[in-house]
Amino acid sequence: MDAVAGSDGIGVLDLQGGVQEHLDHLRRVGVAARPIKRAADLAGLAGLIIPGGESTCLSRLLNIFGLDTAIRQAHGKGLKLWGTCAGAILLARENVGETPFLGLIDVAVNRNAFGSQLDSFNREALAPTVAREPIPLTFIRAPKIVRAGEEVRVLLRLDDYIAAAEDDRILVTVFHPELTPSLAFHRYFARKCGLNVAGDDAGLDPDWTPLSWTRFSLHV
């Protein structure tokens, strides 16, 4: 798919959560990336990442700053979206037992499906559409996607739940790709946005560490 006309890269919603880690991964794949704090910041973007964090807090901040309406409007004009963990909850059309928020992709999520923060875990899995090799996955107080609509493609199914899915303009993952050395999902989303990326989908970035993002934190 083509990028939005005049687009200048991918933004990361900068209200709460893993903002710098996403920016680091995007820059590692050669994509222009910037934090997004205001509705005006959305202008010219090809894509927007809504990162993990706390979904209730994020929804309130989006509402306070008018970004919920702005994101819906920009998405209607072609902006691609990717929600990771809490971001996936905010984008889902159905939130089991709770009121959905943005409701832009036809999936149902079950918030905190794995339990508390202490039940966070790591594992590996193969998502053939995204990468040729197994990808490391980090789950932190993660939701589960428990239903996907007819127009939604399942990219990764694990056990009794869907871990990654997409439609033509939205990607959702219940794990945190930005907290691993794998750049596969960031490359995949950038291509979904119509952008060129560096490198290929195989393997891990040997230069990445859990603190790599700090080299950019003073420059955004």
Catalytic residue flag (residue 85): yes
Rounded distance, CA 18 to CA 7, Å? 23
Told to judge if 124 belongs to the known catalytic residues of this protein, a careful annotator would answer: no
Residue 152 DSSP class: P
**Any idea of the CA torsion for 34, 38, 44, 47, to the nearest 10 degrees?**
60
- Would you call 148 helix, strand, or coil by DSSP? strand
User: Using an 8 Å Cβ cutoff, are 200 and 133 in contact?
Assistant: no
Strand partners, 157: 162
Torsion sign across C-alpha atoms 149, 152, 157, 163: negative
Sign of CA dihedral 134, 139, 144, 148: negative
Q: Given the residues 25, 178, 186, 193, select the one marked as catalytic.
A: 178
Of 22, 25, 75, 176, catalytic: 176
Q: How far apart are CA 206 and CA 166, in angstroms?
A: 28
Taking the C-alpha atoms of residue 62 and residue 75, their distance in angstroms, rounded to an integer, is 15
Catalytic residue among 85, 166, 186, 193: 85
Name the residue among 166, 175, 40 with its Cα closest to residue 107.
166
Active site residue 178: yes
Collapsed DSSP state (helix, strand, coil) of residue 158: strand
Question: What is the number of residues in the chain?
Answer: 220
Would you name the residues annotated as active-site residues?
85, 176, 178
